[in-house]
A and B are shown apart, each in its own frame.
Chain A
Amino acid sequence: MSSIWIILIPLLPLLAFVANGLFGRALQRTGGWLAVGCMGGSALIGAVIFFGGLFGGITFPIQVDLWQWMPLGDVTIRIGFYVDQLTALMLFFVTFVSTLVFLYSMGYMAGDPGFNRFFAYLGLFDFSMLVLVLGDSLPVLFVGWEGVGLCSYLLIGYYLAMPGAPDAGKKAFIVNRIGDFGFLVAMFMLFASVGTLNIQEILAAVASGAVPEFQYSAAFVTFLTLMLFLGCTGKSAQIPLFVWLPDAMAGPTPVSALIHAATMVTAGVYLVVRLSALFALAPATMLTIAIVAAATAFVAGSIALTQKDIKKVLAYSTVSQLGYMFLACGVGAFTAGIFHVFTHAFFKGCLFLGAGSVIHACHHIQDMDQMGGLRRKMPATARTFLFGSLGLAGIVPFAGFMSKDEILWRVFSDGKFILYAIALVTAAFTAYYAFRAYFLTFEGQSRLPHDVEHHVHESPWTMTLPLWILGIGALAAGVFNILPAFGHGHYSAINHFLAPVVAPAEAILAAHASHEPIHSFALEILLMIVSTVVALVCGVGLAWLFAYKLWPAGASRMARRLGPLYRISYHRWWWDEFYNVFVAGGLKLLALISTLFDRFVIDGVLHTVAGAARSGSRLIRFFQNGQVQAYALAILVGVNLVVWLVLWYQ
């Protein structure tokens, strides 16, 4: 694989950005097709690398060294790319899903006045995302990391005049910056201790035991990895920084599918797995990650149960699913985490695009209370949304089942039974809200306003084709990594594929493990049955009951009966209100205090000094009044005084 192909992967989307950004007015719709073509080209290369690696024929790592970037004393940070199995997997699904979303946007954004601006942003996004995945050093990765954040900001605020959209964009950027602060501090610490920021060099140096801080200071390693994880909580929307993601739904729906579900938000998981050998050295951090992740999965899942806005349901679902991915990392099941990233891209991408198709048809109505019965008018969207829901809900043998059950089993076998229980309850939540959304939107009677209902129609092929492809992926993507329980792991292709990447971390974890992981084939199958039954009965069954059979009377009766629990969920645990008062309010208060300090204390002192000088000068001015007689008098008095003094002294 020559390096020019690797460089082309991010370069093609950049070309789409430049073309649409500079020549958008001339290109019009051609600009969109150009972007689809560029992205498709990247996807082709991505697929060749991934499948070439999976089936043999391409050997990793592939390294591309580009140019010298920042001098840091004696060390120079270089810009370069590094492709190993993990990169290849990320490259594949990022470019693949991106191409589908680009194509979908040709339909969704048709006729929008900012059509080319939209594709420019998308191109820049994919460029940044691919730099993030390809970067061989942390600062290069950080370029992508902040670049995707910028594009996310631009795309959330894409509808410039829409109430709330600019605020949501700003919130996303600032909250992400809090995480980026952690990332920055981690880089300072790594550079100070290891002397390089190249990822492979860091991993090699730490593994060789040449870095004293990593050998002797648990506090150092723990703090370092926690700072990195802070970065991940920002980008990947975990507690305490998840609040921006639901607001980010103000952006156009293809953006929600691509950036806020399939790709960007999984960057944190990617980072943890990329640096898994560092995290493995910090058991306290691993435990923190697992707990935070389980809590996030649960909280976000519980919120998704009652939201009325179809995109909000999917947004909280994404936060919850990201929780699963980190939970996997927290118990050392890094490949399981990445595989959930992979399957999630398919089923959540499918669901978001399906929601977009509905919103597009319903003239931007997003409230599921006003939908219903859309299956009859939008059969393709309904069918693919069902596929996506099956994938998300974790029903045997679809994609979500393959990835999520692996995570559940690994949490259990690691002996973290409480976290397992939380994750299992969350699995029930997941199945419930997924099917609740399906039933409310596509089944039952139509509740759309009449003027809207007349116009509802199935979306054009540019939108349904991506839906079908992702829908099939949501059903079938599990084949890439059949649960190890079936066939002794022979069919767990992704696990094998990623084994070299995570082997160092797993070796460290195994060496330090206080107990053997639980191995029991029978138990594993039993838990699988448990989770399936839970998903089917507590999830799909209850959703059928409350969102279809007994809807709406039974549902509201149930809501009343649940009382405070319902309100906690519906009001999203009041996280936003809390942050608005304590964080945003605190910041404003501090800003006000420093402004007042500036005006009254610093300038106050200054003006007092100036005032004193002015009074002093007034005193002097009294004498310097310009009257020659007065001066003469003064001279007379003065001279006399001197003469008298001199005489008296003698």
Chain B
Amino acid sequence: MPELTNHHAALLLLMTFLPAVTGIVIAAAVPAALARTVALAGAVLTFLVSLTFVGGIFGMPADFTAAVNIPWIERYNVALLMGLDGLSGSLVLLTNVLIILAVLGSWTAIAARQKEFYFYLLLLQTGILGAFLALDLLLFYIFWEIMLIPLYFLIGIFGSKNRIYATTKFFLYTMAGSLLMLLGIIALYFHTGSFALADALGAAATLDPTARLLIFLSFVIAFAIKVPLFPLHTWLPDAHTEAPTAGSVVLAGVLLKTGVYGLLRFAIPLFPAEAARIAPLMMLLAVIAIIYGALTAFAQRDMKRLVAYSSVSHMGFIVLGVFAFREAAITGASLQMINHGISTSGLFLCVGYLYERRHTRELAAFGGLAHNMKLYAVLTMIMILSSVGLPGLNGFVGEFMILVGAYPANAVLTIIAATGVILAACYLLRLMQETFYGPLDKDENKVLRDLNPRESFTLVVLAVFALWIGLYPRIFTEPLAPVSERIVRAVEAAQSPGTALADATAGK
């Protein structure tokens, strides 16, 4: 375990706030024409800073000792507690990569009000990074809310036709969830007298059972809305459909993961016994989400809606893995968060590039594009295959780990969930076919040019990761495994205190 030093803490703070600072600089002092360049520079710099954590600090102590510990509102014992382990570290890296791709993907798509756009985008990044790094519940809540506002504007200002409905729905939905969570956090605070996760961990067990369950549920509902889990998912297709490409990339790529992350970091470790109690229900809802999301995706005529519903289905796999409470399944679910970030962000970029050329997302408007957009066809194909879970690419590894892990927990639900692989082929191949196959018979499509180097770069990066994780996932799973192991231990101990004690005395 490397020593936590001030040096680390400074880098962590720098990385978290660099995007926001860049955003403010863009809004205040940079001419509109340069906004995207500065934003790109900021995003790349943030990514480079985050690279310094790889292998170094990826081992936060099990008691959540924070790397950053700065007193803030001392009267209420609120501190800037931040740190990262394998789980949050991986998600931080994913965020930083995807923001770069989101900036590149918006390069020409966003032509007006650029300064605002990049300001919101980078502010969003700080919100997400903060949420992943916070080890203090109130701080987490603040970052959680910070994420909300920029995205509200990104969709509300830069979205397409029906954006006001979509952004209001998104805002109200997530707001309702986060208010519940705030109540839970405050209730917990009154009991423990501290917002620090490390303090809450021990104290939560001493609450009376009803209070514990209520607080736990307030967390779970907030996180389930964010995931989103059936039946709380209907804000997602609307938000995705109306959002600009960068918004969809970040939304699908990382924002949804904050929900799962919240479960893994806060809800389950704080209330392992309650988590075990509702696990069957959560697994059931997850399996419904898998099937229902896939079926609904199959019926969509709008490409973005199709991908959005596929997200509902894929996130179902992740929740299934989390609540299986087996090491393979939780590690798989964590890995699948990264995988879903790669494939779904990739698909949204693909749809975005087409929309930028053709100004429609109706599947019926396309067909035969493989004739004149060969590179685009190949790269989209790779993203689709990654999403469909083809062995050799990343999606398979995650799904396989989840399902193998979930099978001992609930065989019947796992088998039903596995039918999702059939349905995924149905809707994703439909996307493939209606876009690329058939004759190139529409005049508007004949003039479409293939991807330019900037656009191909974004997809090639994702494709390389897809192949890398598909063939050699160890580098990615190794930081995740200890976190899942700890969660499984905690849940097992909570379910049967007697055996846990016996294990401990046996030196296990």
A residues lining the B interface (CB < 8 Å):
67-74, 79, 139, 142-143, 145-147, 150, 153, 157, 160-161, 165-167, 170, 173-174, 177-178, 180-181, 184-185, 187-189, 191-192, 587-588, 590-595, 598, 602-603, 606, 610
Contact = CB atoms under 8 A, between A and B. Distances in A.
Contact of B390 (A67, A79, A146): A146
A247 to B, nearest CB: 14
Give the one of A157, A188, A191, A588 with max B CB within 10 A.
Answer: A188
A180 B400 contact: no
B273 to A, nearest CB: 22
Q: Find the residue from B331, B429, B433, B473 having the highest chain A CB count within 10 A.
A: B429
Nearest to A146: B391
B41 to A, nearest CB: 32
A185 B415 contact: yes
Contacts of A74: 327
Given A71-B477, A177-B421, A595-B296, A188 B407 contact: yes
A587 B426 contact: yes
A177 B426 CA distance: 9
Contacts of A160: 368, 370-371, 436-438
B466 to A, nearest CB: 14
Contact of A139 (B385, B391, B408, B414): B391
A184 to B, nearest CB: 5
Contacts of A185: 415, 418
Most chain B CB neighbours (cut-off 10 Å) among A160, A170, A588? A160
A571 to B, nearest CB: 26
Among B234, B400, B401, residue most surrounded by chain A Cβ atoms (within 10 Å): B400
Contact of B437 (A157, A191, A588): A157
Contact of B405 (A72, A142, A161): A72
Contacts, number: 133
Contact of A181 (B237, B371, B390, B418): B418
A606 B170 CA distance: 12
Nearest to A598: B296
B390 A591 contact: no
Given A72-B404, A150-B390, A587-B298, A161 B327 contact: no
B472 A69 contact: yes
A550 to B, nearest CB: 43
A161 B440 contact: yes
A214 to B, nearest CB: 17
Contact of B422 (A142, A178, A592, A606): A178
19 contacts: A69-B397, A69-B473, A70-B400, A70-B473, A71-B328, A71-B481, A72-B405, A73-B327, A139-B400, A146-B396, A150-B390, A157-B437, A161-B437, A161-B438, A180-B421, A180-B422, A188-B404, A587-B426, A593-B295
Contacts of B477: 70-71
A181 B231 contact: no
Nearest to A153: B429
Given A67-B472, A592-B299, A72 B422 contact: no
A73 B385 CA distance: 26
Contacts of B392: 143, 146-147
B298 A591 contact: yes
B358 interface: no
A192 B407 contact: yes
Contacts of A588: 298-299
A594 B295 contact: yes
Nearest to B168: A610
Contact of B328 (A72, A170, A173, A587): A72
Interface residues of B, number: 54
B404 A591 contact: no
B474 interface: yes
A610 B370 CA distance: 44
A188 B326 CA distance: 14
Given A73-B405, A185-B418, 12 more contacts: A69-B473, A71-B474, A72-B401, A73-B327, A139-B400, A143-B391, A146-B391, A153-B429, A166-B437, A177-B425, A595-B296, A595-B299
Contacts of B439: 161
Contact of A184 (B418, B472, B474): B418
A70 B401 CA distance: 8
Contacts of A189: 407
A191 B471 contact: no
A44 to B, nearest CB: 26
Interface string B479-497: 0010000000000000000
A24 to B, nearest CB: 10
A394 B412 CA distance: 46
Contact of A602 (B234, B418, B419, B471): B234
Nearest to B235: A606
Which of A150, A173, A591 counts the most chain B CB atoms within 10 A? A591
Contacts of A191: 404, 407
Nearest to A140: B391
Contacts of B219: none
Interface string B324-355: 00111001000000000000000000000000
Nearest to A76: B474
B292 interface: yes
Contacts of B155: none
Contacts of B408: 192
Nearest to A606: B234
A142 B404 CA distance: 14
A74 to B, nearest CB: 8
Nearest to A182: B418
B319 interface: no
Nearest to A68: B474
Interface string B445-486: 000000000000000000000000001111001000100000
Contacts of B331: 71
A169 to B, nearest CB: 8
A293 B227 CA distance: 46
Contacts of A147: 390-392
Interface in B360-392: 368, 370-371, 385, 390-392
A497 to B, nearest CB: 30
Contacts of B292: 594
A142 B391 contact: yes
A189 B414 CA distance: 11
Nearest to B231: A602
Contacts of B440: 161
A421 B94 CA distance: 63
B433 A73 contact: no
Contacts of A602: 231, 234
Contacts of A587: 295, 298, 426
Nearest to B326: A73
Contact of A603 (B234, B327, B421): B234
A165 B440 CA distance: 15
A196 to B, nearest CB: 12
Given A73-B328, A157-B437, A591-B295, A177 B481 contact: no
A592 B474 CA distance: 41
A524 to B, nearest CB: 44
A594 B305 CA distance: 14
Nearest 10 pairs of A and B residues by beta carbon? A166-B437, A591-B299, A188-B407, A143-B391, A161-B439, A591-B298, A594-B295, A595-B299, A72-B328, A73-B328
B295 A70 contact: no
A590 B295 contact: yes
Contacts of B411: 188, 192
A170 B433 contact: yes
Contacts of A192: 404, 407-408, 411
B24 to A, nearest CB: 35
B100 interface: no
Interface in B161-211: 169, 172
A181 B425 CA distance: 11
B385 to A, nearest CB: 7
A160 B370 CA distance: 8
B286 interface: no
Nearest to A154: B381
Interface in B288-303: 292, 295-296, 298-300
